[in-house]
């Protein structure tokens, strides 16, 4: 039976723009009570105002602040039905040229914040035997892509985290979904070319997939769905054959070739400013 989303209290991190804003829009149209958490309060309030949603300041790397943010949502609305861990950054470049600060930023934003948000959601939802946690990972959580080694590492970890918590919550009434999109045309994908065989998708496409998973809970959410099939097929191949296939599709250069693209300069500058206490970028 499909879940009714009208009246559900939904929290979205990094909801001021991109996938987060598109998801907030889709859920607001369905009657959900959406709360956007974002450090850029001006952008978040503008987005929320357009949707009839609510915006509260949130730096996901401030763990106490993150907890306080969720406490405030519960104070205002009585509960949290859905938490969507969406905030994330993707700086590009070879690992040997990546600074330790850049590595730490990705670990704090892409992974530690998701772990903390997931843990807090479980603590609040399991006693009620109801709720849904959505972790936005990436297809990069299923494969390694040159030029984004640390990003891939964080997204692999988010997939593993989500799988483990999904099993921990079996029979509890709390659902977990892991969203794994390919290239999504947000600022995060600035400068990236189109991939062979798999066209990029819009933030609205990811939002629609999230809504579908909330209505009829499922764990694996690939966007487009064909990515899931492709992943299963390539895992059946011997490693050499799989890598040759990736090279034939130029998937091995997709991220690395965009690392120093002028079209990406503004995004990379914003990602470089993000980090503990100053998160400024979302998916």
267 is annotated as an active-site residue: no
What are the φ and ψ backbone dihedral angles of 240, each rounded to 5 degrees? -60, -40
Distance (Å, whole) CA 79 – CA 73 = 7
Q: Are the C-beta atoms of 66 and 24 separated by less than 8 Å? A: no
Look up residue 194 and give its DSSP letter.
P
Q: DSSP label at 140? A: G
The CB density around residue 72, as the number of other CB atoms within 10 Å, is 15
Contact status, residue 33 vs residue 9, Cβ threshold 8 Å:
yes
Count CB-CB contacts under 10 A for residue 89: 26
Burial of 69 (0-12, 13-18, 19+ CB in 10 A): buried
Would you call 247 helix, strand, or coil by DSSP?
helix
From the list 69, 139, 151, 222, the catalytic residue is 151
Q: Which residues are catalytic?
A: 151
């Amino acid at each position: 039976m499909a879940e009714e989303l009208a009246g559900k209290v939904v929290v979205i991190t990094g909801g001021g723009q991109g996938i987060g804003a598109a998801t907030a829009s889709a859920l607001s149209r369905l009657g959900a009570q959406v709360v956007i958490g974002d450090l850029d309060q001006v952008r978040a309030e503008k987005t929320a105002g357009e949707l009839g949603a609510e915006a509260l300041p949130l730096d996901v790397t401030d763990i106490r602040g993150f907890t306080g943010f969720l406490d405030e949502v519960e104070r205002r609305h009585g509960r949290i039905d859905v938490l969507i861990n969406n905030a994330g950054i993707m700086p590009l470049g070879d690992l040997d040229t990546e600074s330790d600060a850049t590595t730490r930023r990705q670990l704090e934003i892409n992974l530690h914040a998701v772990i903390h948000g997931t843990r807090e959601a479980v603590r609040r939802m399991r006693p009620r035997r109801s709720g849904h946690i959505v972790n936005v990972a990436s297809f990069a959580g299923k494969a390694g892509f040159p030029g984004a080694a640390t990003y891939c590492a964080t997204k692999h970890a988010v997939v593993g985290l989500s799988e483990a918590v999904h099993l921990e919550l079996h029979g509890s009434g709390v659902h977990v979904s892991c969203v794994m999109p390919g290239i999504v045309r947000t600022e995060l994908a600035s400068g990236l070319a189109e991939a062979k065989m798999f066209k990029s998708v819009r933030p609205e496409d990811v939002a629609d997939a999230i809504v579908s998973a909330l209505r009829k809970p499922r764990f694996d959410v690939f966007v487009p769905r064909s990515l899931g099939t492709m992943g299963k097929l390539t895992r059946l191949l011997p490693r050499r054959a799989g890598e040759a296939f990736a090279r034939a599709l130029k998937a091995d250069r997709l991220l690395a070739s965009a690392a120093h693209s002028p079209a990406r300069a503004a995004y990379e500058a914003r990602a470089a400013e993000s980090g503990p206490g100053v998160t400024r970028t979302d998916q």
